[in-house]
Structure 1
Amino acid sequence: MDAVHTADLAPHELRVLVAVDRERGFSAAARALGLTQSAVSHSIRGTERKVGAVLFERGRKGATPTPAGAAAAAHARRVLRLLDALVTEARAAERGEVTGPLRIAAFRSAALHLLPAALERLTARHPGIRPEVRVVRELGAGTAGEVAEGRADVGIATLGGASPVPAGLIGDVLVQEPYSLVHPAGHPDPRSLPLMDWHENCGSYTRDWWRRQDWIPKATVLTEDDGAVLSMVGNGHGMAIMPALSLTGAPATVEITDLGPDRPTRSVGYVTTPELASSLPVRALIRELRAARA
C-alpha cells in the first residue's frame, strides 16, 4: 500500500481499530460500538489505507491483528487515553479538581499489599479519581507490557534484572524486597523440606543466586500464585523462598528465616508512559506510592 498522511486519522477510526483488536472480529466490534459491520469494515479499510499497512488478517474465525495491526492498536489506545487526559487536565485547570479513571495494572502481591494504602490516601485527597485495578501476572511482558500496550496508565512492576523498564516507558523503584526462607513454624530442619514455588516468583537475577545454593532442591510443587505457596507451607508441605510483599500478614503457622547478607532482593516500582507521567492522576498516584515507600 502507498502510505498517506496519518494525520487524517480521526478519533472514531482509532476507537474502531481498538475495538476490532479487542474483540478479534468485525461483527463483535460492531456490536460493542453500536455500529454496523459494514461501517466497521469500511473504517478499518480506510485506516489501513492511511497507515499504509494491512492491520488485520480476515478469516472465518474473525480478525487477527498483523504485527503492524498490533503496533497500531497499542498506539491507538495510548492516543485515545491522551484525549481523555486532555479533558481531565482542562477540567482540573478550570475547577481545581482531578477527576476521571486511573487504570492500574499490578501483580498479585503488589495489588494486595502495596496499593491499598496508597489508593486510600489518593482517593481521600482526590475523591474524583476512580482507580481501576487489574491484577496481571508478572510473566512475559507483565504489567509493564499492559502500560506499553495502552491498557493501563500505571503498572506496578518488578524492575531490573530480567525485567527492565521497556523502551518507551519511564519508571522508578519503590521497594527493594528481600527474600526469606519460609517454612512450617517450629520445624527442626526446614532446609530438608521439599521446595514450593510459583511461576512468577523471581527473575533470572534471583535464579542465579538460587543456583549457587546447593541446599535448595528443584521445586517439588509449582503453583499459580504466592498465596497458594504460603498456604501449603503453613500446612507443613514444604519450604519456600519468598519476597517480603508475599509474606505480608503471613499466618502464625509459618516461620520466616533471614537468608543472610547475601540474600537476593527484588525491585518493585512503577512504570508509565512519558506522555502520562505529567498527568495529574498519575502524578498523584506516584506521590502516594512514594509516601507509602517512605
Structure 2
Amino acid sequence: MDRVDQLYRDAVDSDLTPQELRLLVAIDRMGSFTAAGAAVGLSQSAVSHAVRTCETKVGTVLFERGRTGARATPAGVRVLVHARQILRQLDLLRREARDAAAGTVTGPLRIAAFRSAAAHLLPPALERLTKRYPGLSPQVQIVPELGRGTAGEVADGHADLAIATLAEDATAPAGLLADELMVEPYLFVSPAGHRSPRQLPLIDWAENCSSYARAWWARQDWLPAATVTVADDGVALSMVAQGIGMAILPRLTLTTQPARVTVTPVDDQPPTRRLVHVTTAGSRRSAAVRELIRELRTAAAPAAR
C-alpha cells in the first residue's frame, strides 16, 4: 500500500459513520445510553463502546455520564449540530434523487415559526404546497421569537426553514441564509367605541419586536410602560377585545380581527416588523424548501407594506 492509499484509509477510518451519527443524536434526544440503545437496538455496553469509538475519532469527550443519564459536553453540542445537519443532507440526497426521477416532491419538511407567522402565513402556503405535492409531510414547530428564536432551530439542525424576525439593518446569523418575506407596520388596537383609547393601560407580550423600532417607541410620550404583559400577541389582542387595555400590534396579528376592537394607524411613520425566511445553504437547495419559499412569498404579499 503506497502512502496516498494509507492516507486515504486513515481518513476514512477516522470519519464518523452515519450509524454513529444517528446514535449520538439518539443519545442526545433520549438523555441516556440505555434509552438510546433501546431505540436503535443496541445494548447499553454496545452504546458505551460506540460512543468511546466516536470520542476517539473526534479527539474529545462528547457526553458527560452520570446517574441521571448522559448530557452533551460543549464539544458534544457542536458535534450534534453537525450530526443532525449531515443526517438531514443524507436523507435529502436519497429523497431528492428519487423525487427527481419521479417528478415530484415528498418527505418531511421541518418548519420553525413564531405564533402569528404559523397562524397566518403558513396555512395558505402549506395548503397550496401539499395540494401540489401530497407526498410532502410538513412538521411545524411553534417557537417563541426570543433569544436565538426560530433561526436557532435551523442553526441547530432541528428545522429546514424558519420564519423569523430580523432588524432591517441586520444580517442572518453566521452560517445561515435569510431573505425578506415582508415588512409590516404596527397598528394601534383599542376596544371598539372607547372614548379615550390612548388613556387605557398598555398590553404587551414577551416576544414583541419593539426593539427593532426603538427610536419610534422612544418618541411616544403618550405611550406608557406596559401595564399587562402576556404570553403572545394573540392573547394581547383578546384582552383588548375584552376592554382590558390597548396594544400596538403588527398587521399580521390582525389578519383575523375580533369585532370588538378598533384598528387605526399609530401615526404617519409607524414602526415596522421585518419577517424573513431562514435556511442553511444545504436546505435551500432542496426542492421542498424552494417550493415552500415560493408559497410563503405569495402568502406574505397581501400583508406586506
State the TM-score, normalizing by the size of structure 1: 0.94
- Between the aligned partners of 1:24 and 1:39, the Cα distance in structure 2 is 16
Q: How many Å apart are 1:227 and its aligned residue?
A: 1.5
SS of the aligned residue for 1:179 comes to strand
Tell me: CA distance 1:261–1:130, structure 2 relative to 1, closer, same or farther (3 Å).
same
1:239 partnered with 2:246: yes
Q: Residue 7 of structure 2 aligns with which residue?
A: none
Write the letter of the residue equivalent to 1:292: A
Q: What is the aligned-residue identity percentage?
A: 60
Q: Residue 88 of structure 2 aligns with which residue?
A: 81
- Between the aligned partners of 1:233 and 1:201, the Cα distance in structure 2 is 16
Correspondence list, 1:49-128, <5 A? 49-128=56-135
State the TM-score, normalizing by the size of structure 2: 0.91
SS of the aligned residue for 1:175 comes to strand
Q: Which moved more, 1:61-70 or 1:263-272?
A: 61-70
Divergent runs of 4+, >6 A: 3-6
- Between the aligned partners of 2:285 and 2:11, the Cα distance in structure 1 is 32
Tell me: CA distance 1:53–1:209, structure 2 relative to 1, closer, same or farther (3 Å).
farther
8 Å CA contact retained: 1:4, 1:50: no
8 Å CA contact retained: 1:102, 1:281: yes
Tell me: CA distance 1:21–1:162, structure 2 relative to 1, closer, same or farther (3 Å).
farther
Write the letter of the residue equivalent to 1:60: R
8 Å CA contact retained: 2:105, 2:287: yes
Q: How many Å apart are 1:4 and its aligned residue?
A: 7.5
Q: Which moved more, 1:55-64 or 1:143-152?
A: 55-64
8 Å CA contact retained: 1:4, 1:52: no
Task: Show CA shifts across 1:121-177 (max 9, x none).
Answer: 111111111111111111111110000100000101112269742110112111111
1:215 partnered with 2:222: yes
Instruction: Structure 2: give runs of 5+ residues left out of the alignment.
Output: 1-9
Task: Show CA shifts across 1:188-239 (max 9, x none).
Answer: 1111111111111115222442222111111111111111111111000001
8 Å CA contact retained: 1:198, 1:223: yes
- Between the aligned partners of 1:6 and 1:233, the Cα distance in structure 2 is 63
Which of 21, 34, 45 is the matching residue for 2:28?
21
- Between the aligned partners of 1:220 and 1:6, the Cα distance in structure 2 is 61
Tell me: CA distance 1:192–1:6, structure 2 relative to 1, closer, same or farther (3 Å).
farther
1:149 partnered with 2:162: no
Instruction: Structure 1: give runs of 5+ residues left out of the alignment.
Output: none
SS of the aligned residue for 1:168 comes to coil
- Between the aligned partners of 1:162 and 1:73, the Cα distance in structure 2 is 31
Larger Cα Rg: Structure 1 or Structure 2? 2
